[in-house]
Each structure stands twice: as C-alpha cells, then as structure tokens.
C-alpha cells in the first residue's frame, strides 16, 4: 500500500474512491457514513491484497492499529475466517470461509439490488454483518432478514449490528432455504457464490422482485447476476452485471475425487485415446473463459500439473468419475497432445464451447444472462431464446 493510500486511510478517503469509481452513489452515501465498516471487522484479519512487504499476512488491530485501519478503509476484501473456523494460528488457512467483501463489490451489488422504500429484503450470507447493516439503515430493521449458516459468524454479526444500534433479523440456518417466515421478499441478495439458485428463493420472491447473486459454474468463473421474478412466479431471468469471485455457499461446495478414481487401477493412460489440438490450453484458463466453458460443459472440473520449464498438463474430469482428459502445454508449440477416456470426450467438449464463444466474437459478460425455473438453469447470449449450447 502506498504512502498516499496510508494518508487517506479512513471512511472519507474510501468514500471518495468509491464515488469516483461509480460504486457508491448518493442514495447509499448516508448508510455508508452511518454504518462504518470498521465496526464490523474483527480484531484479526487477513487483507485480501498483499504488497509483498509483510512477512505475515495477518493484521491485528490490537497490535498494529494503523495497518488494521488502513486495510479496513482500503477497497479490498478482508478474510475473517478460514476453513469453517477450524484453522488456528496466524498463517493462511486452506480455504477462506468468511470475509468482509470488497467495498466496490458491496455497493455495486447494492446498486443492482435497487431497493425502494418499503421493500422487504433477504440477505444470504451475513458474514461480518456490514451488508445487512447497510440494508437495515436504508430500509429499516423490520424489513431486513439475513441468514448465516455458521453460528459463530452469525453471533459476531448480530453483536456488531447491535453496537451500531441496528437489529435486522439474523437467522442461523441453511441459506438455501431462505427464511419463509419473512416471505415474500421484494429483494434477495447473496454474498456467497452459487452453482444454482435455490428453488426456495424463487418461491420466496414476490412477483417482479429482484435476486442479485454471484453465480458460477463447476468448471470455474463467476459473474454477478441480476434476476427479475416473473409476474406469475414461475421463473426469474436477467443479465450478468460484472465479474466476481466470492466464497462458495457451503452446501454447494463440490467434491474433487482423486485421479486414481478415474484410472480404476489401470496404469496411465489406461484406455485413453490419443489425439491433438491446435487450441492452446492456456486460452481456456481465463476467469471469464472458464465461465463460458462451464456454462456449456456441465458437471466437469479441471486441475493443472505444472513443470519446471513452464510446461503443464491440463487435466479435465467429469464429476461422476467416468470420464477424464488431458492436454499437454509446452511453450513455442502450435499443436498439443490430448488424451481422452470415458463416455464423454471432455477436451472435445471444452474446445467446442470455447470455439462457440470465439465464433461469436468473444462476447463479454454484459451480453450473457440467466433464466432460472425450479428445475432448470439456462445461460444465454443476448436473449433467453439463444441459450448457450450444452454438451455432455
């Protein structure tokens, strides 16, 4: 962090940066001022962006108050829990499991939510409670419900909210179920990444209501989607508004079976068929490219095996452990070796999805959208009548 950032560390410096960037608009400025982020951030945090000068990424308010405040009033996410609370110590855990989101993303999503006076809002993923506090200040305590699965995290959010004189309903429970006691909701917002929009959310959203959520694919990539509920309550549809990278809803995390489960006791390459491709594996690895590929290649994921010379193997797997593929990348090559095994030719599926996107001029997130019914999710390009082709 630069000395200039340090000098400006504080609510007004952050507000100025958010306003200049277009994330914080006048409607939300009173709530930003009345609900300070620092009152929702615990003593120990792991700032999300490291400048490389710190030997230990953890920051304690009690030990380094200036560094802690600088992090809190920087436009970065702050991890507040690792590994569902099982991680001990000050080092990095394996998987971040709770955080205070990046302020730009917080206020951009609140803009997407487009709350109006009198709206009832449901938030899924209370985290530190800051987002619920902003909503409660804007709409009133009795119009806001936030659901948090982790009891310790929920307790901390409730205490922080009470410290600033706010008391929205904080529910400890499975966010997939929403909270039917407070339904119907005019607005639902999720602060965790989803592989699918839970049916209960559709049931609990009023006709014409809005759902804003980070939506990702099992293959990778994630975008914020803004859905509007149909007047007959049978579907919700809308466009993606921006890229994102949130922690996955705990109940939608996916297992990653070991490679041995795919070979079934046979030495590599087992029964795999060898072929080649002119598509360079790195071209499929961008965050948005992963999202496009994952939208058309369901129930599949990838890993990489890297080597000292910059080469690597891209491994593709089907969730059911029946199919796998590999593509070997080496620098200065124009053709790459591929192996595929199982009922699905996974590399062929990935390449076809990539070629479809490339053939349409590589459209960005703003041209994609999502339509959800209780039994189906369909990602589309430009219009719901033009769904992304699904393979596999």
The dihedrals phi and psi of 205, each to the nearest 5 degrees, come to: -95, 130
Burial 354-373 (b: 16+ CB within 10 A, else e): bebbeeeeeeebeebbbbbe
What whole-number distance in Å separates Cα of residue 390 and Cα of residue 293? 9
What whole-number distance in Å separates Cα of residue 159 and Cα of residue 151? 12
CA triple 137-107-29, angle to 5 deg: 50
What whole-number distance in Å separates Cα of residue 240 and Cα of residue 371? 11
What whole-number distance in Å separates Cα of residue 353 and Cα of residue 45? 40
Q: Provide the edge-to-edge strand list for the sheet that holds 96-100.
A: 59-60, 44-47, 78-82, 96-100
Q: Which residues contact 345 (CB under 8 A, 6 or more apart)?
A: 323, 325
**Does residue 97 have an active-site annotation?**
yes
Structure tokens at 386: 């033009």
- Kindly write down the DSSP assignment for every residue of 259-302, as one continuous string: THHHHTTPPTTTTPEEEEESS-GGGG-SHHHHHHHHHHS-SEEE
Strands 121-124 and 185-190: parallel
Check: CB of residue 218 under 8 Å from CB of residue 256. no
Catalytic residue among 31, 74, 97, 108: 97
* Three-class secondary structure of residue 328 per DSSP: strand
> Which residues are known catalytic residues?
97
């Amino acid at each position: 962090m630069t000395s200039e950032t340090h000098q400006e560390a504080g609510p007004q410096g952050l507000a100025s940066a958010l306003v200049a960037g277009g994330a914080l608009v006048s409607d939300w400025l009173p709530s930003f001022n009345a609900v300070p982020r620092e009152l929702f951030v615990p003593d120990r945090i792991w700032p999300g962006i490291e400048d490389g000068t710190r030997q230990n990424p953890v920051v304690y308010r009690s030990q380094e108050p200036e560094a802690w405040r600088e992090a809190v009033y920087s436009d970065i996410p702050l991890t507040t829990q690792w590994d569902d609370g099982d991680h001990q110590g000050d080092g990095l855990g394996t998987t971040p499991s709770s955080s205070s989101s990046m302020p730009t993303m917080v206020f951009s999503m609140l803009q997407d939510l487009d709350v109006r006076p009198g709206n009832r809002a449901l938030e899924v993923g209370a985290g530190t409670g800051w987002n619920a506090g902003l909503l409660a200040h804007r709409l009133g305590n009795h119009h806001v419900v936030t659901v948090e699965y982790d009891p310790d995290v929920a307790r901390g959010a409730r205490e922080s909210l009470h410290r600033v004189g706010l008391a929205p309903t904080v529910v400890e429970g499975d966010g997939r179920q929403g909270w039917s006691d407070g339904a119907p909701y005019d607005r639902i917002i999720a602060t965790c990444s989803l592989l699918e929009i839970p049916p209960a959310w559709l049931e609990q959203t009023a006709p014409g209501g809005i759902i804003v959520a980070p939506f990702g694919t099992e293959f990778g990539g994630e975008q914020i989607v803004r859905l509007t509920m149909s007047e007959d309550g049978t579907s919700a549809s809308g466009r993606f508004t921006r890229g994102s990278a949130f922690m996955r809803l705990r109940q939608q995390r996916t297992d990653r079976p070991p490679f041995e489960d795919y070979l079934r006791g046979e030495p590599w390459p087992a029964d795999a068929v060898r072929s080649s491709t002119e598509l360079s594996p790195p071209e499929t690895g961008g965050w948005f490219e992963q999202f496009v590929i994952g939208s058309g290649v369901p129930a599949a994921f990838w890993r990489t095996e890297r080597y000292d010379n910059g080469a690597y193997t891209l491994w593709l797997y089907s969730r059911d452990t029946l199919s796998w593929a590999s593509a070997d990348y080496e620098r200065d090559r124009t053709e790459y070796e591929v192996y595929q095994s199982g009922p699905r030719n996974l590399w062929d599926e990935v390449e076809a999805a990539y070629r479809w996107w490339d053939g349409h001029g590589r459209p960005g997130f703003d041209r994609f959208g999502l339509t959800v019914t209780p039994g189906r999710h369909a990602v589309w390009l430009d219009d719901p009548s033009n769904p992304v082709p699904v393979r596999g």
